[in-house]
Amino acid sequence: MATFKIVHITKYQYSWPIKESINEIRLFPHNFENQDVLQHQILISHNPNVEISHDYYGNRVGNFNTLEAHTEMTIESRMLVRVNHSLKIPEIDTTTVQDLEIEKEKSIMLQRLCYPETIEKQKQINLVLKKINLPDKSIIAIAQECNEYIYKHFTYTKGITNVQTTLDEILEIRKGVCQDFAHILLQLLRTVGIPSRYVSGYVCPNESGLRGEGATHAWVEIYTPTQGWLGLDPTNNIWTMDNHVKLSVGRNFHDCTLVKGTFKGFAKQTLSVSVSIGYEDGRHFEEINNVQLQKMSVEEQAQLDIMEQHHVQLQHQQRQQEQQQQ
């Protein structure tokens, strides 16, 4: 059992004032059997009203608008969470993929979570599964071997992928970060027919030195009729531990995006994310990342350059007028 105090700060900055910013957040930690949310608070600049609802997968979702003009927006999520599933290694379970058919017939959601993505390199996925030798293996064994395959054959490398990177691209370069590894594992498991879902959250640093510690993290959960949802972390080749804090679940990253939105105006935006984790014994960890956003088109960049040149000219004219008045 472990208790963590987590502060997650998302900061947007704009080169020009923007307005009517409409946003959606999934920054609410899950209350479930092995995770208790003791405290939680959301603080947002300009203090907008946040409407809370639940999405298809049961995640709490916040929606808010900031109508007035602004050049900066900060969203701060503060939580105190107790996690008590210390290295939840599944019990011996002989359930096979065939045994899941009855369960899937009862649930449209389980069926949805079995459909793999349509990709060009599906043959690579099929070859991996052929090597694992699926016949008569339990879903626990299949999931664990798929998890291990990704850990051994893909290289954890920051900065070469982003949220737009496709499965085909990841299979081509065989490098990436936690969200990429989670998407590959989902494709393997769903191709077999195992209901599996994407999980976003945090992996809190411990003495074992896990990859992806101290920042937002992603892993996968599989469904078994006897044990419910079980978490696998392909980035570290482990079942989830008591330092995995869950925020949201879905089919993929896009169902679990922590912050997304749109605005009126024409400006270049930058995004930085800071995650601070405190422990009961007083230890503290903090990581700050500048997030790579989708690049502007050539036309958009040219228009921004014109606006900036015009702004510089206006400032120059104002300084000249001030000097003449002195």
Q: What is the residue-wise DSSP string for 242-291?
A: TTEEEEEEESSGGGS-SEEEEEES---EEEEEEEEEEETTS-EEEEEEEE
* pLDDT for the residue numbered 282: 65
* pLDDT for the residue numbered 321: 66
Q: Is residue 90 part of a domain?
A: no
Q: Is residue 313 part of a domain?
A: yes
Q: Is residue 153 part of a domain?
A: yes
State whether 7 and 105 are in the same domain. no
* pLDDT for the residue numbered 243: 83
Domain enclosing residue 202, as ranges: 98-254
Grouping H, G, I as helix, E, B as strand and the rest as coil, residue 293 is coil
State whether 42 and 123 are in the same domain. no
State whether 172 and 195 are in the same domain. yes
* pLDDT for the residue numbered 272: 87
Q: What is the CATH number of the domain that holds 25?
A: 2.60.40.2250
State whether 265 and 227 are in the same domain. no
State whether 250 and 103 are in the same domain. yes
State whether 203 and 314 are in the same domain. no
User: pTM of the predicted model, to two decimals?
Assistant: 0.85
CA 180 – CA 218 distance, rounded (Å): 9
Q: Is residue 138 part of a domain?
A: yes
Nearest Cα to 231, choosing from 132, 140, 137? 140
Q: Is residue 92 part of a domain?
A: no
Residues (pLDDT < 70) of the chain are 85-89, 205-209, 212-214, 281-326
| 44 in Cβ contact with 74 (< 8 Å) | yes
State whether 116 and 232 are in the same domain. yes
Q: Is residue 91 part of a domain?
A: no
* pLDDT for the residue numbered 209: 65
Question: pLDDT, tens digit, for every residue of 27-41?
Answer: 999 888 788 999 999
State whether 156 and 200 are in the same domain. yes
- The token pair that represents 259 in the structure block: 């912050």
Q: What is the CATH number of the domain that holds 190?
A: 3.10.620.30
- The token pair that represents 70 in the structure block: 């602004």
State whether 139 and 185 are in the same domain. yes
| 223 in Cβ contact with 229 (< 8 Å) | yes
Domain count, the chain: 3
